[in-house]
Amino acid sequence: MTVRAVKGMNDILPAEVGRWHHLEQHFRSMAEKHGYAEVRTPVVEPTGLFVRSIGEATDIVEKEMYSFERHGDALTLRPEGTAGAVRAYVEHHVHTQEPVTRWYYMGPMFRGERPARGRYRQFYQLGCEIYGDAGPAADAEMIDMLVQFFRSIGIADLEVLVNSLGGAQTRPRYREALREHLLPRRDLLSDDSKRRLDTNPLRILDSKDERDIAALDGAPSITEVLDGDDLAHWSQLQQDLDLLGTPYRKEPKLVRGLDYYTRTLFEIRTSAGEVGAQNAIGGGGRYDGLVQELGGPSVPAIGFALGVERILLAMPEPDVEPPFLCAIAPIGARAAGQALILARELRAGGLRVDVDTRGAAGASVKAMLRRANAIHARVCLVLGDSELDAGQVQIKDLAARTQTVVPRADVVQHVLSLQAQGGPSGGHA
């Protein structure tokens, strides 16, 4: 019986990993330029952490978590990164060490969703969190950073949706207003939304079901009922985004699937590349109450998460030169040993080296050269008994299709000078 990967969980093979590195390096560099430092938290957390933060009446907690029991503890594979980051922030009393904390993270998340293109059960997120700054300038900078980031990796076709969910004063009032609008239309709603009407009416706003969309016609919008500080925050955010020239569209129906959000909420969508129809590649928002909810001090916060697989579908092929690679083809066992020593010297000189160790057991030079071409080596050093006896190495330039014989002592210098000259890498097999 062959064993297959779990449905919705993918292998990322080396041929694709270059694109992942490109994206991760861009993200890391962008986050660090904006003062974020990386945090790494466990993939497994106590189940209660997610129930308390994400919220009981959310799709994630209701039906998507990978939960299990071990050693008497109820545990869950993290479905998102914010809850664990907040737990770590509280647990390590980070607020006593600095007034404002900027963290970023990258890693796998787990949700038992129905797998589809761009939707998996193990998927990767890149995220940022700011703790300790309640003002709308932090929100604007974060949204602007995302737009700059997507443009820098070649995704220019972006839609930035923003909304405000209000705060402690506004939200309960809006929830009631929405419920009042929907109660007389209860029978028109989908079954899910009938249930949400009692548990979490705001979630009905982002339902894709035609019946729910029709029932919402004429419903009050949350930004209409904002007042006081909630309204001031929302207005200032828009002014800041206008000042920065950040493109955005106000979307009063944007709620997103997590309960902990307050005030600013945003989502980035694109239909670039292979993503298909307009699809969310990231989103986030403010969660001013969550740190306290999880047992910490009253510290405001805001964050976002981006979906790596979806960004990779949207991202054009990065234009990167394949790195210079030096292959060594040893002929016979004695030469193979010497090839390993030579490789060590070349690597110490900063080169990437592939020794075809099959040569020790008699692989032919032809076979080894074919492989050197296939792995895009730029040069191949051929080393046999006659070269060893003469104290020389044969250097084949696979791009220029030329060859020279160089004294053993000069090999590292010679290959380094070929690397410095640049030029194309070797051909294909």
Using the contact rule CB under 6 A, the part of the chain among 34-42, 45-53, 68-76, 301-309 near ligand AMP is 301-309
Examine residue 159 and tell whether it contacts ligand AMP (CB under 6 A).
no
Six token digits for residue 206: 């982002």
Is residue 426 part of the contact set for ligand AMP (CB under 6 A)?
no
Residue 309 lies near ligand AMP (rule: CB under 6 A): yes
Nearer Cβ to ligand AMP, position 6 or 429? 6
Tell me if 128 sits within 8 A of 15, measured CB to CB: no
Q: Maximum distance among all alpha carbons in the chain?
A: 95
Q: Which of 160, 171, 138, 178 is nearest to 250 (CA)?
A: 160
Residue with tokens 């945090």: 39
Give the chain's radius of gyration (CA, Å).
28
Q: Does residue 69 sit in helix, strand or coil?
A: strand
Residues whose CB is less than 8 angstroms from the CB of residue 88 and which lie 6 or more positions away in sequence, other chains included: 39, 41, 94
280 binds ligand AMP (CB under 6 A): yes
Site for ligand AMP in 86-125 (CB under 6 A): 111, 113, 118-120, 123, 125
| Position 296 contacts ligand AMP (CB under 6 A) | no
Measured from the CB atom, the residue of 95 and 111 that comes closer to ligand AMP is 111
Interaction of residue 388 with ligand AMP, rule CB under 6 A: no
Question: Interface with ligand AMP by CB under 6 A: which range of 86-94, 194-202, 277-285, 287-295?
Answer: 277-285
- Nearest residue to ligand AMP, using CB? 307
Q: Where are the alpha helices (DSSP H) in 297-380?
A: 308-314, 333-348, 365-374
Q: Which of 43, 61, 56 is nearest to 112 (CA)?
A: 61
Comparison of 314 and 412: residue with beta carbon closer to ligand AMP:
314
What is the C-alpha separation between 266 and 240, in angstroms, rounded?
A: 15
Contact flag: residue 285 with ligand AMP (CB under 6 A): no
Binding ligand AMP (rule: CB under 6 A), the pick from 80, 212, 230, 288 is: 80
**Crossing angle for the helix pair 136-152 and 14-33, nearest 10 degrees?**
140
CB of 424 to ligand AMP, least distance (A): 36
CA 264 – CA 106 distance, rounded (Å): 23
Least spacing, CB of residue 310 vs ligand AMP, in Å = 4
Residues in contact with ligand AMP by the rule CB under 6 A: 80, 111, 113, 118-120, 123, 125, 256-257, 280-283, 305-307, 309-310
